[in-house]
């Protein structure tokens, strides 16, 4: 009897293993909706490394780039052309949700995809070149007050996007009309940093995780991080906007969505992998190396978070007179 039960257990475990193997996509792909070097690229490569190193994905996951509309092109492509693709996950951020709130993704809204996993939190940051005359956020604000047209801000989004919103909130707190800021939009954080290092713009607005390599290399100075408190570890020397007199905080979620017609079986397979990944100490260390902070949201929890954020962003966009 015991032997028969053992055989049944062995067969059952084998069937479960076979089911898991069948559920794993043959050609997993992560779409970064911008050019290489920015936050979407960071998000995809974090998942690529974490899933591979954790043994949660046997096939290598490639990262592909689909720039355009700060996420709009990728969002529309996934919904309209690849709605059932079980092997594709696409990176998103709070900037994606802000654009959704303003209707910048065309006819599709936040209901159009399946929200898979949030894997980390970044924070907004205002940066200048290391040789910039601006040493503090106050120095920059004073210069903008004297002559708003004298300083060119660069960011990886259009007016109304996340990076613009970060500077607009600071401007509003300082009593400056955000519409008077000189602003150049780039397709992704990588292009923005290149432009600043080349002297084409004087200030960048981004996520802190996007710029830490340049910070470590001594090429830039971060005037302020948009967090409630100073960040830990090697970023502890960076002052917050709040401690410099500007009551601004901008957390940035980083995560993934899938197509709207992906089967429950395939979606739940990915969710299980991310649930396991996010509980791993090794992944926590990997995330810390990328200067991201803990966030664990998958499936319905993430969907609820996304819908709440979009609602808040619609209100914020209305305050700044942005189209919805």
Give yes or no: residues 170 and 268 share one domain.
Answer: no
From the CB of residue 244, how many other CB atoms can be counted at a distance below 10 Å? 16
For residues 311 and 281, membership in a common domain is answered with: yes
**216 and 127 fall within a common domain:** yes
What average pLDDT does this structure show over 18-47? 84
| Total domains, the chain | 2
Residue range(s) defining the domain that contains residue 109: 29-122+252-319
pLDDT in tens, 125-164: 999 999 999 999 999 999 999 998 889 999 877 788 898 9
What is the torsional sign of CA 48, 155, 162, 213? Answer: positive
| Mean pLDDT on 252-262 | 97
Decide if 14 is inside a domain: no
Residue 177 has pLDDT above 50, yes or no: yes
160 lies in the same domain as 179: yes
CB environment 94-110: b (16+ within 10 A), e (fewer): bbbbbbbbbebbeebeb
Q: What is the pTM of this model?
A: 0.84
> Does residue 4 lie in a domain region?
no
**Per-residue model confidence as pLDDT tens digits over 48-61:** 999 999 999 999 99
Return the HEC string of 17-58.
HHHHHHHCCCCCEEEECCCCCCHHHHHHHHHHHHHHHCCCCC
pLDDT band at residue 324 using 50, 70 and 90 as cut-offs: low
Last residue of a domain, one of 191, 224, 251: 251
Is the pLDDT at 6 greater than 90? The verdict is no
Q: How many beta carbons lie within 10 A of that of residue 274, not counting itself?
A: 26
**Final residue of a domain: which of 208, 228, 251?**
251
Question: Which one of 251, 283, 304 terminates a domain?
Answer: 251
Residue 21 lies inside a defined structural domain of this protein = no
- Domain assignment present for residue 86? The answer is yes
Task: Let me know whether 147 and 222 are in one domain.
Answer: yes
For residue 173, with 0-12 CB atoms within 10 Å meaning exposed, 13-18 middle and 19 or more buried, which class applies?
A: middle
The CATH number that applies at residue 177 is 3.40.190.10
- Residue 37 above 90 pLDDT? no
pLDDT value of position 323: 62
Q: What is the mean pLDDT of residues 166-193?
A: 87
CATH number at residue 260: 3.40.190.150
Poorest-pLDDT segment among 165-179, 181-195, 263-277, 278-292? 181-195
Mean pLDDT, rounded, of the chain: 90
Residue 200 lies in a domain: yes
Same domain, yes or no: 81 and 141: no
How confident is the model over 210-239, as pLDDT tens digits?
Answer: 899 999 999 999 999 999 999 998 899 999
Same structural domain, 242 and 261: no
Evaluate if residue 15 carries a pLDDT over 70. no
Q: Is pLDDT above 60 for 12?
A: no
Residues 148 and 242 in one domain: yes
Position 115 in a domain? yes
- Whether 10 is in a domain gets the answer no
- pLDDT band for 241, please (50, 70, 90 cuts): very high
Q: Indicate whether 104 and 206 sit together in one domain.
A: no
112 and 258 belong to one structural domain: yes
Whose structure tokens read 């993934």? 256
Cross-strand bridge partners of residue 25: none
Let me know whether 243 and 261 are in one domain. no
Asked, for residue 70, whether it belongs to a domain, the answer is yes
The answer on 245 and 127 residing in a single domain is yes
Shortest CA distance to 119 belongs to which of 100, 95, 93? 93
- pLDDT given for residue 159 in this prediction: 82
């Amino acid at each position: 009897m015991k032997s028969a039960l053992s055989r049944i257990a062995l067969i059952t475990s084998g069937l479960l293993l076979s089911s898991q193997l069948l559920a794993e996509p043959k050609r997993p792909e992560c779409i970064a909706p911008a050019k290489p070097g920015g936050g979407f690229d960071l998000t995809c490569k974090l998942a690529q490394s974490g899933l591979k190193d954790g043994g949660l994905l046997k096939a290598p996951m490639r990262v592909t780039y689909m720039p355009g509309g700060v996420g709009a092109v990728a969002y529309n492509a996934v919904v309209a052309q690849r709605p059932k693709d079980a092997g594709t996950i696409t990176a998103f951020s709070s900037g994606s949700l802000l654009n959704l709130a303003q209707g910048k993704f065309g006819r599709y809204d936040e209901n159009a995809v399946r929200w898979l996993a949030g894997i980390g939190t970044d924070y907004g940051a205002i940066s200048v070149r290391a040789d910039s005359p601006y040493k503090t956020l106050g120095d920059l604000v004073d210069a903008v007050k004297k002559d708003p047209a004298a300083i060119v801000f660069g960011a990886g989004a259009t007016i109304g996007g996340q990076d613009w919103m970060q500077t607009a909130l600071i401007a509003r707190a300082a009593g400056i009309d955000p519409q008077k800021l000189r602003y150049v939009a780039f397709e992704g954080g990588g292009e923005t940093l290149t432009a600043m290092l080349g002297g084409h713009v004087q200030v960048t607005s981004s996520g802190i995780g996007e710029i830490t390599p340049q910070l470590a290399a001594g090429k830039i100075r971060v005037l302020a991080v948009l967090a409630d408190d100073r960040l830990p570890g090697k970023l502890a020397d960076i002052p917050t906007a709040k401690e410099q007199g500007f009551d601004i905080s901008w957390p940035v979620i980083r995560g993934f969505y899938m197509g709207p017609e992906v089967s429950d079986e395939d979606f739940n397979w990915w969710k299980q992998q991310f649930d396991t990944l996010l509980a791993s100490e090794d992944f926590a260390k990997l995330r810390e190396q990328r200067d991201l902070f803990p966030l664990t949201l998958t499936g319905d929890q993430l969907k609820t978070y996304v819908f709440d954020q979009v609602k808040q962003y619609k209100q914020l966009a209305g305050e700044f007179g942005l189209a919805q």
